[in-house]
């Protein structure tokens, strides 16, 4: 998605540990015009798919998931990062190892909002090592719902997540795949770039 790549080139900041900061338009301040275009692009890429629910993970996936959901006219469910020790009630749970925070946490979804008969599209902002998507896919599987695919705004193609997710048979659409980023020069290359 050229508009997105241009924006990443212009406003993305490369941080230590291969972290790409996009706080000015995606992760903190959110550019809602860009979000609309992102929503339309996911709709175009999954136009052939039957989807009745979008599943994402709090917090940064929620905004994106909502604009995608508006295109499909379906609800969004976001997995909650569980803070408390005792998981209350009827929930599905799985574990996610956080790339940016360096710890493992439980994610939960109430059984009443996900189950057999649902056709689910996963949406998230970033794909790095694939742990967040794997955790969400595990929730879908536990619920008996059907996993239709996964949509990612920015995939870091030099980390293992994309290959692992594709190898597992999940249909993955990433709007921008970063192939390399150089902290010193600030140069970012994308997978579709010529030369």
Residues lying near ligand 5GP in the complex (CB under 6 A) are found at 19-22, 27, 60, 99-100, 124-132, 156, 161
For the beta carbon of residue 17, count every other beta carbon within 10 angstroms. 8
Q: Which is nearer to ligand 5GP, 80 or 115 (CB)?
A: 80
Asked if residues 42 and 151 have their Cβ atoms less than 8 Å apart, the reply is yes
**What is the phi-psi region of residue 182: left when phi exceeds 0, alpha when psi lies from -120 to 50, beta otherwise?**
beta
Angstrom distances, CA of residue 153 to CA of 78, 92, 104, 115: 16, 26, 23, 26
Q: Which is nearer to ligand 5GP, 105 or 115 (CB)?
A: 105
Q: Which is nearer to ligand 5GP, 19 or 34 (CB)?
A: 19
Distance CA 186, CA 164 (A): 27
Query: Shortest approach of ligand 5GP to residue 156 CB, angstroms?
Result: 6
Query: Shortest approach of ligand 5GP to residue 144 CB, angstroms?
Result: 24
Q: Which is nearer to ligand 5GP, 47 or 167 (CB)?
A: 167
Query: Shortest approach of ligand 5GP to residue 89 CB, angstroms?
Result: 25
Query: Shortest approach of ligand 5GP to residue 61 CB, angstroms?
Result: 6
Query: Shortest approach of ligand 5GP to residue 22 CB, angstroms?
Result: 6
List the structure tokens of 66. Answer: 């909502």
Q: Which is nearer to ligand 5GP, 17 or 89 (CB)?
A: 17
């Amino acid at each position: 998605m050229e508009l997105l790549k241009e924006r990443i080139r212009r406003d993305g900041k490369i941080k230590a540990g291969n972290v790409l900061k996009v706080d000015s338009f995606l992760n903190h301040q959110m550019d809602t015009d860009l979000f609309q275009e992102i929503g339309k692009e996911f709709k175009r890429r999954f136009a052939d798919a039957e989807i009745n629910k979008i599943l994402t993970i709090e917090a940064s996936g929620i905004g994106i998931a909502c604009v995608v959901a508006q295109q499909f006219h379906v609800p969004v469910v976001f997995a909650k990062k569980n803070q408390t020790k005792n998981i209350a009630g009827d929930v599905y749970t799985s574990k996610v190892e956080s790339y940016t925070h360096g710890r493992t946490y439980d994610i939960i979804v109430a059984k009443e909002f996900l189950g057999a008969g649902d056709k689910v599209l996963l949406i998230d902002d970033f794909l790095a090592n694939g742990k967040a998507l794997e955790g969400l896919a595990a929730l879908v599987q536990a619920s008996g719902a059907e996993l239709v695919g996964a949509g990612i705004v920015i995939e870091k193609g030099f980390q293992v997540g994309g290959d692992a997710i594709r190898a597992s048979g999940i249909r993955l659409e990433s709007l921008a795949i970063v192939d390399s980023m150089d902290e010193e020069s600030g140069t970012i290359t994308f997978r579709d770039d010529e030369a």
